[in-house]
Amino acid sequence: MGATTKLSWRVEGMDCASCVAKVTKAVERLPGVSAVEVNLMAERQTLELGDDGRAEAVEAQVASLGYATRRMAEAGSASAPPPGCDCGHGHGQDSPGDHTHDAAPPPAHGHDYDSPADAGKPWWRTGKAMLVWTLGALVLGAYALSLVLPERLTYPLFLIATLVALVPFGRRAIALARSGSPFSIETLMCTAAIGAAIIGAAEEAAVVVLLFAAGDLLENIAAGRARDGIRALATLMPRVALRLRADGTTEQVRADRLAVGDLVLVRPGDRVPCERVIENGASALDESPVTGESIPVSRGPGDAVMAGSINAEGAIRVRVTPAATDNTIARIIRMVEDATASRAPTQRFIERFSTWWTPGAMIVALLVIVIPPFALGWDWWTSIYRGLAVLLIACPCALVISVPAAMASGLSAGARRGLLIKGGAALETIGGARTVAFDKTGTLTEGRPRVTDVLPAEGRSAEAVLALAAAVEQGSSHPLAKAILAEATARGVDVPAAEAQAALPGRAVTGTVAGLRVSIGSPRHARESGAELGALAAALDRLEGEGKTVSVVLVDGAAAGLVALRDEPRADAAAGVAAITALGVRPVMLTGDNRRTGEAIAISLGLAAKAELLPDDKLREIAKLRDRGPVIMVGDGINDAPALAAASVGVAMGDGTDVALETEMPLCSRTA
């Protein structure tokens, strides 16, 4: 066997599984081509080319089907970024003093273009959209004129609309026939339209091709929006990083230009640009966008930090480990793409149906034309007319019209119940689901910590302890600080002024309140400070056993009280889980949060839990659940995107991230 070379192309314009099948089948027929893989969401075609194959022939074959191709820089690279993704520099700080993260504009307004000429255009100005507008204007104009003018004057307009649509669809049908798909849906529609025009039913033909063109456009828009969701993953990565020179000064470099071994400064408020290990410094890192951990976690020297997490407190210096193309966010992007590609490429029902029905209908129509003149004495015109009528009746045009109507009814019923359903496939698949997997943070819970308990030491009141804690937390943007200040406001507590406020990264916040040295921090900080908890020690163990984050308030070195916080379940979460269980469907929680918190929340809601799961762990759990039958995944965050893509049906909470909402998920709730 001769040597083969693995090559990859970006294929623009694919918008459904049918497109994938057409491209795959056409390319597989070429000499020297093997191991063809086409990924719809990544718009990537990968294949192995032998000595007798030519890359130019592959490009010409794909182009003949109406899809634009472009050779990818790293052929066959599994880490190649998705279309439009500048991995490693999506966005973030642009200057040393800028701690904001401005959103980049959505590429192509959510439209996935078919040709380079459409790049950057809004969807309503692309070639497919212009075809729909032209056909719509002709059909509506002809119908309006038919109300006041005789048919002989308006019929030509319907005929023109039919012929206009037949040009692009006919060219594609011919190209598909040449590439090995002679009975495609384009062939079906063109044959039906031509037959209708021949027997004088151009009105019906014009409406059918208009509906077909509109459906093609809507599929294109939906695919583009789904790809935009994958591209949005890159926005978790800052554009630039502060690399430390040997003399201790810093220089701005593009994040994707960082090399393994570089030392990088990450300041409070910055996003971590790549995977790395802390060399010195300590801080609390908000890892919720990646892991789902609801509370910032303390990290110090020797600890690993994840790309995309946010430095919430002190400055840290970190040593780069993997390259930008192998960080957490890049791996999530690849997992989303691989999950969508690994699912069995389900053809549209019409496409599968027409594979067998179209040739059969054509044969029957031909027999009706040829046999009756000899067997029944029909004249040839009558025979031709009736044969074409059989062909038109046999064409599943009713499905083209009735299926969208039926789906619209289902979609509107869901909308009345607070659901936005992205496709009819979800309505069919969800009925056979046996398991529902929930993310925790932001899905079953509110997505933000709040104070659950304030326990004062003997001789103090809960309000006094809360006032002291809120005083030293004033001005902090830490999620726990915000929760404490919100609780003080809710209880009507007067918060005194604090002086000399300071943060001990990953440990505590300190300050002076009315001459008293006050700190609020972790139990570890209290122990290191030599404080005796006394009767509060048992309460501390109990609260941590309930999955709560406990902060100890110290006044002049002595324990003054405990403040417990937790991301609490949504008010309707328990009822929702109970209703699902009553239907005979098994609910399970998949969370990146710590095991104690995850299990405590799960027990309170009445479902099983698997905790401390990274995105790839969730993906594996979904795969295990799918072995038992269809599985529904419910989530809202970046870390849920691969699992949502891999599930039989993905459900995104309406206040979730764009990536979750657009990651091949046919069902999403808008009343989260």
Residue 248 class from Cβ within 10 Å (0-12 exposed, 13-18 middle, 19+ buried)? exposed
- Side chain identity at residue 358, one-letter code: T
Residue with tokens 């080319």: 49
Query: Which entry of 270, 439, 567, 658 is annotated as an active-site residue?
Result: 439
**114 three-class SS:** coil
Closest CA to 256 of 271, 269, 237: 237
The upper half-sphere exposure of residue 274, i.e. CA atoms within 13 Å in the direction of its Cβ, equals: 32
CA–CA dist 240, 235 (Å, integer): 12
Please confirm, yes or no, whether 439 is among the known catalytic residues: yes
Cβ(437)–Cβ(588) below 8 Å: yes
**Token pair belonging to 61:** 């074959």
Closest CA to 211 of 327, 350, 308: 350
Q: Count of residues for the chain?
A: 672
CA–CA dist 288, 624 (Å, integer): 25
β-partners of residue 44 are 10, 39
Find all residues with CB under 8 Å of 223, minimum gap 6, and list them. Answer: 14, 15, 16, 40, 41, 112
CA–CA dist 477, 269 (Å, integer): 9
Distances (CA, A) of 160 to 177, 194, 197: 25, 12, 10
Strand order in the sheet with 631-635: 419-421, 667-669, 649-652, 631-635, 435-438, 586-590, 608-610
The residues annotated as belonging to the active site are 439
